[in-house]
A and B are shown apart, each in its own frame.
Chain A
Amino acid sequence: NAGVTQTPKFHILKIGQSMTLQCTQDMNHNYMYWYRQDPGMGLKLIYYSVGAGITDKGEVPNGYNVSRSTTEDFPLRLELAAPSQTSVYFCASSLSGGGTQYFGPGTRLTVL
Chain B
Amino acid sequence: AQKITQTQPGMFVQEKEAVTLDCTYDTSDQSYGLFWYKQPSSGEMIFLIYQGSYDEQNATEGRYSLNFQKARKSANLVISASQLGDSAMYFCAMRLAGLNTNAGKSTFGDGTTLTVKP
- A interface residues (Cβ-Cβ under 8 A, vs B): 31, 33, 35, 40-45, 48, 50, 56, 58-59, 88, 90, 92, 94, 96-103, 105-106
| Smallest Cβ-Cβ distance to B44: which chain A residue | A105
Q: Which residues of B contact A42 (CB under 8 A)?
A: 4, 91, 93, 108-111
Number of interface residues of B (CB under 8 A): 28
**How far apart are B31's CB and chain A's nearest CB, in angstroms?**
7
Interface centre among B52, B91, B106, B111 (most CB of A within 10 A): B106
Q: Which residues of A contact B98 (CB under 8 A)?
A: 97-98
Q: Are B44 and A99 in contact (CB under 8 A)?
A: no
Q: Are B111 and A45 in contact (CB under 8 A)?
A: no
Q: Which of B4, B43, B104, B111 has a CB less than 8 Å from the CB of A31?
A: B104
| Smallest Cβ-Cβ distance to A44: which chain B residue | B108
Q: Are B103 and A43 in contact (CB under 8 A)?
A: no
Q: Which of B43, B50, B93 has a CB less than 8 Å from the CB of A88?
A: B43
- B interface residues (Cβ-Cβ under 8 A, vs A): 4, 31-33, 35, 43-45, 47, 50, 52, 91, 93, 95-98, 100, 102-111
**How far apart are A29's CB and chain B's nearest CB, in angstroms?**
11
Q: Which residues of A contact B102 (CB under 8 A)?
A: 56
Q: Which 8 pairs across A and B sit closest by C-beta, in order of nearness?
A: A98-B97, A97-B103, A98-B33, A42-B108, A103-B45, A97-B104, A43-B108, A42-B110
